[in-house]
Amino acid sequence: MTVARVATRPAGHRSVPLLHEPDLGHYDEFRRFLAVTFGLDADPFGPPGVLTVDGRAYELVFTGRSGRPFPAGVEVHALVEGLEPLDVEQADRDLFELAAWLVDGVGAPWSVDALEQTSRIFAIPARP
Amino acid sequence: MITSIDALPAGVAARYPYRSRWITTNGWRMHYVDEGPRDAPPVLLLHGNPTWGYLWRDTIPPLLAAGLRVVVPDQIGFGLSEKPHLASAHTLDNHAANLVALLDGLDLERVVFACHDWGGPTGLAALLTRPARAAAVAVMSTWAWRSPSAEFHHRVMPWRTMHAPVLGPYLLGRQAAMPGRGVYLSTVDRQRYEHDGRAAYEAVLSDPDERRLTWLWPRSIPLGLASDIAAERFAWLEAGVPRLHLPATVIWGREDDVFDVDTFAAMWHQWWPHAEGTHLVTGRHFLQEDSGAAIGAILADFALRSTTTGGTR
């Protein structure tokens, strides 16, 4: 599957929250990667971070917390057209791809291989 | 959300045939079991991640048969207790303070603390805060220090990947890696666990938001990294716990490959040279799943001697 960054949020789609990470800075390289990728140091309140997985859109909503570097956290939302129901199993498979995109971007010691092995050991239902 | 024993799946409730009780600790609803004579010394059974009081189901009967009182709380965020969604509810300090509130709320005295996993750092922090309530302490597959840390906890694959930013709420939250498969991997008799254990751990963590503490608690394990968020409290434990002069016993799983016996049980004996044990039983990290009754027999003998004869030293 292909993860791509897109510039605009698709019209006519609603946000379905999938997960919330309150502490991106727990391992700060994750926070830095997202800050650089989405230009958050220069413009923290700019356009939303939108990614697609094989054309299906997901929005990264960055959140702040007083006393911590921005972004302190991130919500990942599925962008679902109109009032159509969320395909939960597809969304979880796409989240795996987004997780792989994230660790690949953050780089060593984090890796897609470690994510895949971990997912096999723990029998993650949505693993490829 | 299941909040009482009688609302559990029938097979699970049958293996945990006790009355649900609740107490408010720091504003949160804590579920606990309290069995045995009110005037008997209480044995306080403290679980960790991702379990709940059910972990002690086979340990409780030998303690009751010995005439002891048994108090088994579900830590806030687990089991049948309230599961706050705000991450800031789940600091080590807050969880330790919840146990202090339990000790005070039930006015427990002559307590024998039995600590497993996060029941160690939280329970021992509560004990240090209320030392006059303590009679003795037992530890099993737990720790209360910054170093040595478990080699397993330093590994990127699988441990740190499991709870890294975004990966934690995905793998442990949405995908529920811990209560089912995670416990399964850390038991010896996995067939028995599948039959008697798995449903109980999964039933009480059925929704992603309920599983928040399964990925937040690992982040409080000190690893000597910039990410350490509880190092100060662990330093406080290091200063206080070795100075405890309570009767103590060390019980460990022979097959424990998370907190290996040669490093972690040995550290407890270094801190408490007077401690009994190490009593080795069949078991990995969740040793109660394999040897709950044997642990109960060891604890009953230890608790009776520690609370009726003035201790073992």
Is the residue at A26 inside a domain?
yes
Residue of A95, A109, A117 lying closest to B170 (CB–CB) = A95
Reported confidence tier of residue A48, pLDDT bands at 50, 70, 90: confident
Q: What is the mean pLDDT of residues B181-207?
A: 97
Say which residues have a Cβ less than 8 Å from residue B269's Cβ, sequence separation at least 6.
Answer: B250, B275, B277, B278
What spatial distance separates the first Cα and last Cα of chain B, rounded to whole Å?
Answer: 46
Locate the chain A residue with the closest alpha carbon to B220.
A26
Say which residues have a Cβ less than 8 Å from residue B270's Cβ, sequence separation at least 6.
Answer: none
Whether B182 and A20 lie within 8 Å, measured CB to CB: no
Residue of B161, B165, B173 lying closest to A115 (CB–CB) = B161
User: From CA B112, how far away is CA B308, in angstroms rounded?
Assistant: 12
Give the closest-approach CA distance of A8 to chain B in angstroms.
23
Q: Are B96 and B113 in contact (CB under 8 A)?
A: no
Q: Which residues of A touch B169 (CB under 8 A)?
A: 19-21
pLDDT for A121: 97
Is the residue at A84 inside a domain?
yes
Q: What is the mean pLDDT of residues B20-39?
A: 98
Q: Are B253 and B141 in contact (CB under 8 A)?
A: yes
Q: Are A60 and A49 in contact (CB under 8 A)?
A: yes
Share of chain A above pLDDT 90, in %: 93
By the CB < 8 Å criterion, does B185 face chain A? yes
pLDDT for B64: 98
Reported confidence tier of residue B310, pLDDT bands at 50, 70, 90: very low
Per-residue pLDDT at A16 exceeds 60: yes
Residue spans of the domains in chain B: they are: 5-309
Locate the chain A residue with the closest alpha carbon to B172.
A124
Q: Are strands B111-116 and B134-140 parallel, antiparallel or unpaired?
A: parallel
Q: Which domain holds residue A55?
A: 3-121
pLDDT for B309: 58
Is the residue at A126 inside a domain?
no
Q: Is B107 helix (H, G, I), strand (E, B) or coil?
A: coil
Strand partners, A15: A79
Share of chain B above pLDDT 70, in %: 98
- For the stretch B216-230, pLDDT in tens is 999 999 999 988 999
Per-residue pLDDT at B313 exceeds 60: no
Per-residue pLDDT at B19 exceeds 70: yes
> ipTM score here?
0.98
User: From CA A95, how far away is CA A76, in angstroms rounded?
Assistant: 9
- For the stretch A87-120, pLDDT in tens is 999 999 999 999 999 999 999 999 999 999 999 9
Q: What is the mean pLDDT of residues B175-202?
A: 96
Residue B21 one-letter amino acid? R
pLDDT for A115: 98
pTM, two decimal places: 0.97
Dihedral sign computed on CA atoms, order B238, B99, B75, B44: positive
Locate the chain A residue with the closest alpha carbon to B173.
A19
Give the closest-approach CA distance of A60 to chain B in angstroms.
11
Q: What is the mean pLDDT of residues B112-140?
A: 98
- Per the structure block, which two tokens stand in for B201? 């751990």
pLDDT for B260: 95
Whether B164 and A28 lie within 8 Å, measured CB to CB: no
Per-residue pLDDT at B295 exceeds 50: yes
pLDDT for A113: 98
Residue A13 one-letter amino acid? H
Per-residue pLDDT at B279 exceeds 80: yes
Closest C-alpha to B290, from B158, B142, B141, B172: B141
pLDDT for A99: 98
Per-residue pLDDT at B236 exceeds 90: yes
Q: Are B15 and B8 in contact (CB under 8 A)?
A: no
Mean pLDDT of chain B: 96
Share of chain B above pLDDT 90, in %: 97
Q: What are the DSSP calls for B112-150, one per residue?
A: EEEEETTHHHHHHHHHHHSGGGEEEEEEES---SSSS--
The domain total for chain A is 1
Angle at B200 between CA B194 and CA B205, to 5 degrees: 115
Per-residue pLDDT at A14 exceeds 50: yes
Reported confidence tier of residue A45, pLDDT bands at 50, 70, 90: confident
The C-alpha R_g of chain A, in whole angstroms, comes to 15
CATH fold, domain B5-309, is Rossmann fold (3.40.50)
DSSP state of B54: G
By the CB < 8 Å criterion, does A125 face chain B? yes
